[in-house]
Amino acid sequence: MSKKVVLAFSGGLDTSFCIPYLIDQGYEVHTLFVNTGGISVKEEQAITKRANELGAKKHININVEKSLWSEILIPLVQSGALYQNKYPALCSDRYLIVKESIKLCKKLKTKDIAHGCTGMGNDQIRFDLSIRAHGNYNIITPIREIQNITKNVRGYEEDYLQEKGFKVSSLHKKYSINENLMGATISGSEIDEWEEPSSESFVLCKLPHQYPKRPKTLKIKFLRGKVVSINGKKMQGADFLRTLNILGGSFGIGRSVFSSDTIIGLKGRFVFEAPGITILMSAHRALEEAVLTDKQNVVKTQVGQEWVNLVYRGFYFEPLRENLEAFLFDSQKTVSGEVTLNLTPGRVDAVAVKSKNILKSPEGAYAQSATWSEVESKGFIKLIGQSTSTWSSIHKKK
């Protein structure tokens, strides 16, 4: 009997190649497509058809938008952090793909699991580290294997499929586009060459000449750090982001060109669009600034940055990530209120905050008035600077 192997399948060239390749290696291939948003019903049906015609023993589709919202997006927004202060970790859905693949492995009682990652990118690290964190699995990587025998990987894959009698799309897209509920990343062509991206690279965001002529006002309400309504309307978690992606995208909000320091040490350049996340983070941060203490704001920023660094670099299943999330979630106890935002071309501004938890002191208003005296101010300043002034009196040359 053939050994059963689970293959995370997307329908693209790499994973299409993997099915007959694994069959030739003596495996019974079970494929699954993990839908994390950004794909239509018609496209999902096409993926199913492709897997079956390539010889998969069985193919299943799994929608994990709810998990993406609760397990990735909520802590991401609460972290308030971006990788290298710019990128909102749109790659985080990979971990849910691994989780579902492992579930299928357990159901089929197999330790063999495969993915179509190349040896040139970050995703191979995210997949391999995540799989290993779940136990002693045999990780099979056909694309990395054929890199040992050819430099023209794409050509090898196409020839292999054609020799097997399978159709290969002759359409060579200008860009490689990865889209999910969180947003879209676009790479290839002139983007890889550090040149200005063309108008064809816009996915979720409108072109500048298409922006609305008038600003848009938006009210987002939070309860314990979680969004509960937009303009008074309650929705399911994933629908919040879908709504904000459309609205923010119409203004070109959340689009940026990023030259990242990748896990494997190379510079990677791509365009990303994350309108919804950008809006949510702006609103959430404005509320936090008003209701958290100064020390909470400082430490939470550090914790959030560590969280996003772990997630970007493949360590989602590292226990420290859960430790950090415990802190983040606990810090959100008082993060409740409503934030008013103004959307204008290319930017979002939090202009008003309403919350019973705003730390507005009855003792004074910054730079306006205070209940303390001049003597108390001078004494405070003297004491807070005592260490520095003492150092100067000892070490500074007279």
pLDDT digit string (tens) for 17-44? Answer: 999 999 999 999 999 999 999 888 999 9
Predicted local confidence at residue 120, as pLDDT = 83
Predicted local confidence at residue 334, as pLDDT = 97
Predicted local confidence at residue 397, as pLDDT = 66
State percent of the chain over pLDDT 70: 98
Predicted local confidence at residue 266, as pLDDT = 87
pLDDT band of 398, cuts 50, 70, 90: low
Q: Which residues contact 351 (CB under 8 A, 6 or more apart)?
A: 340, 341, 342
> In this structure, what is the dihedral angle of CA atoms 86, 89, 90, 94, given to the nearest 10 degrees?
160
Cα 393 from Cα 387, distance rounded (Å): 10
The 8-class DSSP code of residue 224 comes to T
pLDDT band of 365, cuts 50, 70, 90: confident
Task: Tell me, yes or no, whether 251 and 317 share the same domain.
Answer: yes
Neighbours of 171 (CB within 10 A): 5
Cα 173 from Cα 331, distance rounded (Å): 45
Regarding predicted confidence, which is higher, 219 or 373? 219
Task: Tell me, yes or no, whether 251 and 138 share the same domain.
Answer: no
Read off the pLDDT of each residue in 215-238 and give the average, rounded to a whole number: 96
pLDDT at 354 over 90: yes
Of 139, 163, 187, at which residue does a domain stop? 163
- Is 168 within the bounds of a domain? no
Predicted local confidence at residue 173, as pLDDT = 80
Q: What is the DSSP string of 94-134?
A: HHHHHHHHHHHHHHHT--EEE----SSSSHHHHHHHHHHTT
Cα 92 from Cα 45, distance rounded (Å): 24
pLDDT at 280 over 80: yes
Task: Tell me, yes or no, whether 201 and 223 share the same domain.
Answer: yes
Q: Which residues contact 360 (CB under 8 A, 6 or more apart)?
A: none
Which of 88-97, 251-260, 330-339, 371-380 is the least confident region?
371-380
pLDDT band of 373, cuts 50, 70, 90: confident
pLDDT at 170 over 80: no
Predicted local confidence at residue 360, as pLDDT = 87
CA angle, 178 as apex, 177 and 183 as ends, to 5°? 110
Read off the pLDDT of each residue in 273-283 and give the average, rounded to a whole number: 98
Predicted local confidence at residue 169, as pLDDT = 75
Cα 19 from Cα 360, distance rounded (Å): 62
Q: Quick check: helix, strand or coil at residue 139? A: strand
Task: Tell me, yes or no, whether 245 and 343 share the same domain.
Answer: yes
Q: Quick check: helix, strand or coil at residue 9? A: coil
Task: Tell me, yes or no, whether 188 and 314 share the same domain.
Answer: yes
Task: Tell me, yes or no, whether 219 and 326 share the same domain.
Answer: yes
Predicted local confidence at residue 76, as pLDDT = 98
Sheet harboring 337-344: ordered strands across?
Answer: 226-230, 216-223, 337-344, 347-354
pLDDT digit string (tens) for 205-214? Answer: 999 999 999 9
- Is 131 within the bounds of a domain? yes
φ, ψ of residue 34 to 5 degrees: the values are: -100, 110
- Is 201 within the bounds of a domain? yes
Q: What is the DSSP string of 307-323?
A: HHHHHHTT-TTSHHHHH
- Is 169 within the bounds of a domain? no
Please check whether residue 220 is in contact with residue 227, taking contact to mean a CB–CB distance below 8 angstroms: yes
Predicted local confidence at residue 368, as pLDDT = 76
Residue type present at position 38: G
- Is 241 within the bounds of a domain? yes
State percent of the chain over pLDDT 90: 86
Task: Tell me, yes or no, whether 130 and 226 share the same domain.
Answer: no
pLDDT digit string (tens) for 86-125? Answer: 999 999 999 999 999 999 999 999 999 999 998 888 999 9
Q: How many residues does the chain have?
A: 398
Which of 252-256, 309-313, 349-353, 357-361 is the least confident region?
357-361
Give per-residue burial for 128-146: e unless 16+ CB within 10 Å, then b.
bbbbebbeebeebbbbbeb
Task: Tell me, yes or no, whether 55 and 94 share the same domain.
Answer: yes
- Is 40 within the bounds of a domain? yes
Of 163, 184, 213, at which residue does a domain stop? 163
Of 163, 196, 214, at which residue does a domain stop? 163
Task: Tell me, yes or no, whether 253 and 344 share the same domain.
Answer: yes
pLDDT at 1 over 60: no
Residue 180, domain CATH: 3.90.1260.10
- Is 171 within the bounds of a domain? no
CA angle, 235 as apex, 233 and 241 as ends, to 5°? 105
Q: Which residues contact 269 (CB under 8 A, 6 or more apart)?
A: 187, 191, 192, 194, 257, 258, 259, 260
Q: Residue 261: which domain range? A: 176-354
Per-range mean pLDDT, top range of 255-269, 274-288, 353-367: 274-288
pLDDT at 180 over 60: yes
CA atoms within 13 A on the CB side of 223: 4
Please check whether residue 76 is in contact with residue 276, taking contact to mean a CB–CB distance below 8 angstroms: no
Task: Tell me, yes or no, whether 200 and 78 share the same domain.
Answer: no
- Is 297 within the bounds of a domain? yes
Cα 273 from Cα 313, distance rounded (Å): 20
Read off the pLDDT of each residue in 245-254 and give the average, rounded to a whole number: 98
Cα of first residue to Cα of last residue in the chain, in angstroms, is 88
Cα 45 from Cα 48, distance rounded (Å): 5
Work out how many domains the chain is built from and give that number. Answer: 3
Task: Tell me, yes or no, whether 142 and 32 share the same domain.
Answer: yes
pLDDT at 363 over 80: no
Task: Tell me, yes or no, whether 64 and 130 share the same domain.
Answer: yes
pLDDT at 364 over 80: no
pLDDT band of 164, cuts 50, 70, 90: very high
Residue 42, domain CATH: 3.40.50.620
